[in-house]
Structure formats: C-alpha cells, structure tokens
C-alpha cells in the first residue's frame, strides 16, 4: 500500500492526475463561496436573462431578474456571467462550479454501489462454485448483452427524468465488471492454505469471504473502480446531453453541453460566436475524467505490468 | 471444436431468454396505460376509458407477470413491437428503414480502424522506441477522457460552423430529391454510397461521403487509439518470445518472422478487442447520430427517448441487444477457430 502511494506520487502522469483531482475537490468543497446560491436549492442554476439566445462572457444580470431577487430579499453577490450564459440565460460559471459536486456525487455513488453489488455476486459465485457459479455468471452475461449507454438510456427513459434515476440506471448496468474481476481473484485465492485453515477451524462461509478472502483480493476491484468513475461521469453527462438525464436548469455539466448543441454552429455569418457554450463545460468534463484516468492508468501499471497495453 | 461451438450455441437461447426477460421487466415498470400507449397510434382511443380497457385486455397488459411475458414474446415473434410515435410508423418498420443508414456509418467506421489500425500497431511495435510508446499512451488516455459528444460538437463546430465543409444530416436537399423521389434512382442496398455508385451517380456519391466523414471520425477516434495500443503491446510481447528468437537464429528473414510467425499469435487478443470495439460503437451511434442529426437508428432512439416514446426505445434496445448477443457469439466462435487453446480446452 505504501509502495503504491509512493509510486503514485513519483510518477509524472499520476501526479498531474492527483493535482487535477485536488483542484476539483477544492471547487466542490468551496462551491458555496465561489458561486453563492441564489435560491434555496443550490443545484438550481440561476438565470441571468430571459433571452433565448446565449450571452457572451461578462454578461451582466438583467435588471428585471435582479429586481425579482431584490424583492425576494436575496442578496445578489455577483452580477456577471464570467463564462457567459447558455440559451435561456443559464449562468455557465455557476452550473460548472455546482456541477462539480454533481459529478463527484454521480461518480462516487454509482461506482461504490455497483462495486458492492459486484463484490457480493462475484464472491458468492466464486466461493460456492458449481451451479451457483453457473447461474450467477449467466445472469452477468445477460446484463453484459446490452451496450452500456443504450441500456442506461432505456432504463432512465422508463424511470423518468432526474439525477437519482440516472444513477439507478448506471448502477443496474454497471456492476458486471467488478463481479467478474473479484470472481477471478477469489477462484485462485480460495485454494490457498489460509482459507483451508479457516475452513478447518469451522468458520462460517460468510465470515471467510468477508474477513479472509475479500481483504486479500479487493485491490484490483478498487483500481477498476477508480478508473470507472470517469466513464460513469461521461455516461451520465451523455444521458443529460441526449435529454433524458438531469432536468432542465439542473447544475450538471452534461446538461450545459446539451444546451450547446443548438448553438454550436452560430448564426449565419457569425460562425462560432457561441463557442463558450461548449468550450467551458467541455473543458471541465475532459479534465475531470482525465484526472481519474491518469491515476487509474498508473494504478494498473503498479498492479500488473503485463496489462500495460490494454485500455 | 465442434463440441465447443455446439456448447456455445446451446447457450444462445438462455441468453436470449434472459435479454427479453430483462427488457420485459423494464417494460413492466410502466403502468398498463403507458404500456397500452406503446401499441396504439390513435391518442383518442387512449382517452376513452372503455376502449382502452378493452385494448388492455386484448394485449394482456394487465395479466400476471409470467403470462404477460409469454404474450409479449408472442407479439415479438410476429415482429409486433408497437407503434413508434417519434417516427409515425410501426417500430419494426422504423428499424428496417433506419438500419441501413446506421449500418453504412458503422461499416465505414470499423473497416479502416481494423485494417489500418492493426497495420500501424504492428509497424510501431517493430520500430519500437520509447517516444512513440509514450505518445501512443498519452493519446489513448486523452482520447479515452474526451467524451464522444464533446469531440463531435468540436468537429461540427470546426468543419461545419467555421469551415463549412462537412454539413450534418445524411444528404443535401438536391441529393435527397434524386435518391428518394427520383425516377431513375434504384435503391439496391439502401447504403447510399454503394447505391449511388451502382446507379453511376457520382455527385450523389460525393455528397453522401461528405456527410459521412465527420460522423465516422467521431464514432471511431476512441477505437483507433485503443486498437493501435493493444496491437502494439501484444506484438511487442510476442516478439520477445523464445520461438521468435529461434526463428531468427535459424536465419528466417525478418519479413516472414514478423508477418508469418509473430503476427498470427499477436493478433489473437486483438480479435476480442476488435469485437468489443464494434459493440462499443453500437452505443456510440446514439451520441454521434444525435450530434450530426444523421437520421439513423441512434438519432431515432434519442428523439424517441426525449418524447417518452417507450415503444421505440424498447424496440431499439431489443434490436441492439440481439445484435450484440449474435456478435459475441461470432467473436467466441472465431476465437475458437484461431486459437487452438480455446478449441481444445
């Protein structure tokens, strides 16, 4: 463990990843200071104008909206959209800052939950073997028969809009990889003498799995999990982009990019005038995912130099 | 090997049962009214309580779960997937109509990657040096971190918004007139690039190609990075093996060492990755087609999802999952053909 940490910090690529991640952690923690919320639900992106067109960086909040906040007794601490606004006046800067919290929430909750399901199914499958293994692995195969994005899209469509629905869909179709990895590790670990010793002592199966096998086999799954956080955030953003994810105006990066699709080409004769609608949200998503991938890539090298080439 | 393939084929019905069962579970999350709406194309019928009650009974939408599943599968067997509101025609007709459009995109994305990507991977392994190694690695990680929809939007922004070279859609208006309403244009395959060549209509061919370039790049850039990387590392590992040294020391010329001895073994893992890559592209078409308003199945499914047109989304998922199950089968069988260890083991 110590060796792993030292390697993570001595490797240039993973060091960049760690610094990037730290940057996002700071933004997420200090979101209320960086972009003070104007409504009771901080994930409601404030609108700077009612105009249907995007507004350029530095656009000041329009007077009539300011007036509404004044009468509501809210103090408007900042009055410029420094990254501009999406169509409908949604402030890009605010959505990106609070969207960082959304991204961490999606990444960590979906990966942790699907990892737990995967660990449960994979370890039972490997430990008991026989028909239990056969049945559980066929079920895993069935879940793997769907393209991930398509499966997540259909389940989200059926469940309805909202971030919680997106996360349920991502967890439902995201656990199979972990199950397979932990199954492989436990299959080889369960032949070792310490497991036999535990069995000979009459320790219950559940305790052997939980206290003896899992601590010795869980590391590869944790590595896989850290690498999946990025792709989970991408998939959630993709669902928002397709219009089945977060509801309109929710502080979410994918939501911002989905606005941008309509504006990216610009008005005739003014090609690229709305560049900021996709540039800033795009940069945030790419850097966030890149951070996790850089760390994950190094972790994988440490874990198994033979896997170096696989992606 | 025959035994292996038979065993694999016997598994097929089990997987297909599981896939349909899982989709039916998701379908059952909808209320009977919503489920009825997937079969009925007339909104007035849905508002009439008696008529909808009668139809719910006719389609067995309120039956107990196992019975409901059996009736649903029986309708599937007759290709009755419901009514697509997004396309204003039966779901199965929409699939048949749009599948060639998506197929055209996927074919042109897959073939260059497999041919050129593998070739480049082998070349870069033979001329092994650290700078190439590192840059391929960096490109792969960055490519992996760049979501398709953002990459696609940038391609659209630069090549259409600024340069005006590669427009979205599938055909320009004048070409649409020729292809869809023209008297002298015969659709043989519904792949426009091929049809236009068969009809000897070069302008339409060029127009179709112009619309395809941007979606192809967007759909395949991740695959380029990953296939190149896996081919390269697998080839590097093989070249270090003892039997390659033996071949070289026996005086076999370098060309046959690489292309006859090493390549055969090195490409075994590449087959799996290529199979998975094509499957990954199936998911990618939804995003790519939406970005470029390319009127294939993915665009249709995304539009349907926004309109809560459950019938289309479920039909689309069912169709893609079936393709994926058959694709996995093909990969496994070809694996057995190539790799004797799988065949005998």
Alpha-carbon distances of B266 from A69, A235, B42, rounded to whole Å? 66, 32, 58
The pLDDT of A205-221, averaged and rounded, is 85
Interchain pair B144, A286: CB under 8 A? no
| B41 and B126 assigned to the same domain | no
In a domain, B63, yes or no: yes
Range in B117-126, B156-165, B271-280 with the lowest mean pLDDT: B271-280
Interchain pair A148, B320: CB under 8 A? no
Tens digit of each residue's pLDDT (9 = 90 or more) over B4-15: 888 888 889 999
User: Which residues of chain A have a CB within 8 Å of the CB of B273?
Assistant: 310
**Residues of the domain holding B223:** 98-344
In a domain, B153, yes or no: yes
Q: Is the pLDDT of residue B313 over 80?
A: yes
Helix (H) or strand (E) holding B90: strand B89-90
Mean pLDDT of chain B: 85
User: Which residues of chain B have a CB within 8 Å of the CB of A143?
Assistant: 22
User: Which of B54, B84, B114 represents a domain boundary (last residue)?
Assistant: B84
pLDDT, residue A233, reads 92
Strand partners, B84: B89
The pLDDT of A278-299, averaged and rounded, is 88
Mean pLDDT of chain A: 84
In a domain, B54, yes or no: yes
| B120 and B237 assigned to the same domain | yes
| B121 and B148 assigned to the same domain | yes
The total of structural domains in chain B comes to 2
Tens digit of each residue's pLDDT (9 = 90 or more) over A63-110: 777 777 777 777 776 677 788 888 778 888 888 999 999 999 999 999
User: Which residues of chain A have a CB within 8 Å of the CB of B154?
Assistant: 278, 282
Residue pair A230/A224 in contact (Cβ under 8 Å)? The answer is no
| B80 and B103 assigned to the same domain | no
Q: Please report which confidence band the pLDDT of residue B92 belongs to, taking 50, 70 and 90 as the band edges.
A: very high
Q: Please report which confidence band the pLDDT of residue A49 belongs to, taking 50, 70 and 90 as the band edges.
A: confident
In a domain, B1, yes or no: no
User: What percent of chain B clears pLDDT 90, i.e. is strictly above it?
Assistant: 20
pLDDT, residue B21, reads 93
| B59 and B175 assigned to the same domain | no
pLDDT, residue B86, reads 85
Helix (H) or strand (E) holding B301: helix B297-306
- DSSP per position, A284-301: HHHHHHHHHHHHHHHHHH
Instruction: Give the N- to C-terminal CA distance of chain A in Å, as an integer.
Output: 24
The pLDDT of B121-138, averaged and rounded, is 75
In a domain, B150, yes or no: yes
pLDDT, residue A269, reads 66
| B192 and B286 assigned to the same domain | yes
Residue where the block lists tokens 């999990």: A225
Strand partners, A90: A47
Q: Is the pLDDT of residue A161 over 70?
A: yes
Length of chain B counted residue by residue: 345
| B194 and B336 assigned to the same domain | yes
User: Which of B62, B84, B106 represents a domain boundary (last residue)?
Assistant: B84
ipTM for the complex shown: 0.87
Q: Which CATH class is domain A2-308?
A: mainly alpha
Alpha-carbon distances of A243 from A238, A288, B283, rounded to whole Å? 9, 22, 16
pLDDT, residue A308, reads 43
In a domain, B11, yes or no: no
CA angle B195, B199, B204 (to 5 degrees): 70
In a domain, B44, yes or no: yes
In a domain, B6, yes or no: no
The pLDDT of B122-148, averaged and rounded, is 77
pLDDT, residue A21, reads 92
Interchain pair B154, A139: CB under 8 A? no
| B221 and B265 assigned to the same domain | yes
Tokens of A119: 């660990």
Interchain pair B145, A230: CB under 8 A? yes
Residue pair A54/A261 in contact (Cβ under 8 Å)? The answer is no
Range in A219-233, B121-135, B185-199 with the lowest mean pLDDT: B121-135
Tens digit of each residue's pLDDT (9 = 90 or more) over B221-252: 888 877 887 888 888 888 888 888 898 899 88
| B40 and B177 assigned to the same domain | no
pLDDT, residue B344, reads 58
| B122 and B70 assigned to the same domain | no
Rounded CA-CA distance A40/A37 in Å is 7
Q: Which candidate, A31, A38, A32, places its Cα nearest to that of A74?
A: A38
Tens digit of each residue's pLDDT (9 = 90 or more) over A108-157: 999 999 999 999 999 999 988 889 999 999 999 999 888 899 999 999 99
CA torsion B272-B277-B279-B280 (nearest 10°) is: 140
Question: Chain B neighbours among A 133-162 (CB < 8 Å)?
Answer: 138-139, 141-143, 145-151, 153-159
**A267 vs A190: which has the higher pLDDT:** A190
Range in A242-256, B79-93, B261-275, B321-335 with the lowest mean pLDDT: B261-275
Rounded CA-CA distance B169/B295 in Å is 7
CA distance B197 to chain A (A): 31
Residue where the block lists tokens 């650290």: B130
| B36 and B154 assigned to the same domain | no
Rounded CA-CA distance A34/A39 in Å is 15
**B326 vs B340: which has the higher pLDDT:** B326
Question: Chain B neighbours among A 97-136 (CB < 8 Å)?
Answer: none
Residue where the block lists tokens 């699939």: B95
| B102 and B75 assigned to the same domain | no
User: Which of B59, B84, B109 represents a domain boundary (last residue)?
Assistant: B84
What's B179's domain CATH number?
Answer: 1.10.3720.10
User: Which residues of chain B have a CB within 8 Å of the CB of A272?
Assistant: 157, 161-162
pLDDT, residue B343, reads 62
């Amino acid at each position: 463990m110590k060796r792993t940490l030292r390697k993570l910090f001595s490797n240039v690529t993973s060091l960049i990843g760690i610094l990037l991640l730290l940057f996002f952690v700071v933004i997420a923690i200090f979101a209320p200071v960086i972009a003070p919320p104007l409504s009771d639900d901080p994930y409601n992106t404030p609108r700077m104008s009612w105009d249907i067109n995007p507004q350029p960086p530095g656009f000041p909040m329009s007077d009539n909206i300011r007036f509404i906040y004044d009468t509501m007794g809210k103090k408007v601490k900042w009055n410029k959209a420094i990254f501009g606004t999406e169509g409908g006046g949604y402030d890009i800067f605010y959505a990106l800052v609070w969207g960082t919290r959304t991204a961490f929430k999606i990444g960590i909750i979906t990966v942790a939950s699907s990892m737990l399901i995967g660990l449960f199914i994979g370890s039972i499958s490997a430990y008991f073997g026989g028909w239990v293994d056969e049945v559980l692995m066929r079920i895993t195969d069935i879940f793997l028969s769907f393209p991930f994005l398509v499966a997540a899209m259909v389940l989200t469509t059926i469940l309805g809009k909202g971030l919680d629905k997106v996360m349920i869909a991502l967890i439902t179709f995201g656990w199979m990889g972990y199950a397979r990895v932990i199954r492989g590790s436990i299959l080889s670990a369960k032949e070792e003498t310490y497991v036999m010793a535990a069995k000979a002592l009459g320790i219950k199966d559940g305790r052997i799995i939980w206290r003896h096998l899992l601590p010795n086999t869980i590391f590869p799954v944790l590595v896989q999990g850290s690498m999946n956080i990025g792709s989970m955030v991408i998939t959630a953003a993709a669902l928002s982009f397709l219009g089945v994810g977060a509801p309109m105006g929710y502080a979410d990066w994918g939501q911002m990019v989905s606005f941008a699709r309509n504006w990216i080409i610009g008005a005739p004769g003014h090609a690229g005038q709305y560049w900021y609608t996709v540039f800033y949200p795009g940069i945030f998503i790419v850097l966030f995912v890149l951070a996790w991938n850089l760390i994950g890539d190094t972790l994988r090298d440490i874990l198994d130099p033979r896997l170096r080439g696989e992606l | 090997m025959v035994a292996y393939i038979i065993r694999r084929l016997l598994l097929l019905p089990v997987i297909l049962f599981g896939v349909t069962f899982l989709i039916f579970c998701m379908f059952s999350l909808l209320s009977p009214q919503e489920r009825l709406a997937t079969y009925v194309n007339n909104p007035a019928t849905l508002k009439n309580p008696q008529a909808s009650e009668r139809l719910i009974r006719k389609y067995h939408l309120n039956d107990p779960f196992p019975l409901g599943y059996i009736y649903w599968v029986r309708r599937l067997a007759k290709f009755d997937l419901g009514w697509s509101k997004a396309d204003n025609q039966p779901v199965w007709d929409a699939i048949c109509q749009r599948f060639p459009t998506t197929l055209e995109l996927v074919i042109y994305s897959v073939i260059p990657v497999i041919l050129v990507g593998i070739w480049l991977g082998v070349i870069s392994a033979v001329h092994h040096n650290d700078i190439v190694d590192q840059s391929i690695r960096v490109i792969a990680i960055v490519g992996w971190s760049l979501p398709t929809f953002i990459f696609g939007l940038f391609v659209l922004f630069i090549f259409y918004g600024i340069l005006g070279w590669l427009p979205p859609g599938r055909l320009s208006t004048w070409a649409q007139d020729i292809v869809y309403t023209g008297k002298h244009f015969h659709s043989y395959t519904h792949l426009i690039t091929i049809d236009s060549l068969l009809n000897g209509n070069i302008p339409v061919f060029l127009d179709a190609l112009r619309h395809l370039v941007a979606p192809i790049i967007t759909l395949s850039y991740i695959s380029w990075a990953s296939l190149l990387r896996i081919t390269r590392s697998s080839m590097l590992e093989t070249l270090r093996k003892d039997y390659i040294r033996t071949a070289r020391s026996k005086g076999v010329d370098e060309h046959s060492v690489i292309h006859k001895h090493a390549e055969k073994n090195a490409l075994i893992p590449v087959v799996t990755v290529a199979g998975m890559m094509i499957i990954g592209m199936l998911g990618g078409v939804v995003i790519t087609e939406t970005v470029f308003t390319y009127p294939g199945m993915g665009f249709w499914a995304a539009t349907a999802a926004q309109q809560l047109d459950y019938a289309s989304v479920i039909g689309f998922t069912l169709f893609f999952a079936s393709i994926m199950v058959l694709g996995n089968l093909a990969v496994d069988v070809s694996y057995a053909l190539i790799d004797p260890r799988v065949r005998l083991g």
